[in-house]
A and B are shown apart, each in its own frame.
Chain A
Amino acid sequence: MTVLIGRRDEQGKTQAGDAAFSDGVEHIVFTYDYKIGTDGKLESLVVPRSAQKLLK
């Protein structure tokens, strides 16, 4: 997952559309990569009793 957030410039404006994320325009970027492995059957999870109470 990549999250792109436009920032306001010195005039307090955020550029419209893709321009907010273009060369020379400062913006915020977060990336998330999830890898999922579905091989085989995993052992069932056994939750300690003290932890169980916090999940309810």
Chain B
Amino acid sequence: MANQQQMISITVARSLVFVSVFVSMIAFGGYFAPPASCQAAKKDDVRSAPDPARVLRQAVQNLEQHSQKNGYQIDCLAKGGLSNKGDHEVWMHQVYEEHSGVIHGDLMFVEKLQVYRNPSKGAIRVDENWIPLQNSPAGNRLDRIIHFPSKLLLAAVAQARTAEWIEPEVEIDLNDPDYVDPMDPLEEPEGGTKVVEKPDQVSSYERIKIDIGEKMAVKYFNGVQNSGLLGGFL
């Protein structure tokens, strides 16, 4: 994977009465990076915050333009199953699909599976023959589960009910010598009872949460159901 890299994480939540979609972007300086005006905005000045929906729409347009001109690489990992935890930790895994490929405009190529696809159709090579993507179990799974990132984001923007900036996730470095496990009674930092303070929450314009309608959640869930991976288990 190239050095210049972006990560996209999207959350779709669905129940009978509550539906929301969260779209988050963590930028590393690439095409998803907020424009300079966003970064220059004062952290505590809500009035100067850029419009998240507009920024996301612009970022997706930039990605599309880059895709048409230069293409880009994707790595995608899809997994899931049953959880009974508030943090959604899965205890029974049913889905695990990992693919790498390249996208040039409306064309995706997955070398390992020998798949070419556009947003509506696809072809997979089985032995020496090219067959429709969905005629192969592996091709069908890929088709149902792996999406064109820009199409996915555009759909989220188009169906958004609300959009807002949220704080980026803070990763804890367990190897940091100053890290103290707050649940470990035996752990005590050198020099007494000093406890390492949590880093201050820093406002930034890197991560966006979007609430959208149930329609999109149902669409992507149906994709997983129709991939054949669940086997009627869930």
The interface of chain A, by Cβ under 8 A from chain B, is 1-6, 14-18, 20-45, 47-48, 50-51, 54-56
Contact = CB atoms under 8 A, between A and B. Distances in A.
A38 B84 contact: no
Nearest to B153: A34
Contact of B72 (A5, A18, A26, A38): A38
Contacts of A15: 15
B16 A30 contact: no
A23 B86 CA distance: 4
Given A14-B15, A36-B74, A38-B70, 6 more contacts: A1-B9, A5-B15, A30-B220, A31-B78, A32-B145, A47-B107
Interface of B: 1-18, 30-32, 63, 66, 69-86, 88, 90, 95, 102, 104, 107, 109, 116-118, 121-123, 125, 129-133, 145, 149, 152, 217, 220-221, 224, 234
A55 to B, nearest CB: 5
A2 B85 contact: no
Contact of B116 (A18, A35, A36, A47): A47
22 contacts: A1-B9, A1-B220, A3-B14, A16-B18, A29-B82, A30-B224, A32-B76, A33-B8, A35-B8, A35-B76, A36-B8, A36-B149, A37-B1, A37-B2, A37-B74, A38-B4, A38-B66, A41-B69, A41-B71, A51-B116, A51-B130, A55-B107
A24 B122 CA distance: 41
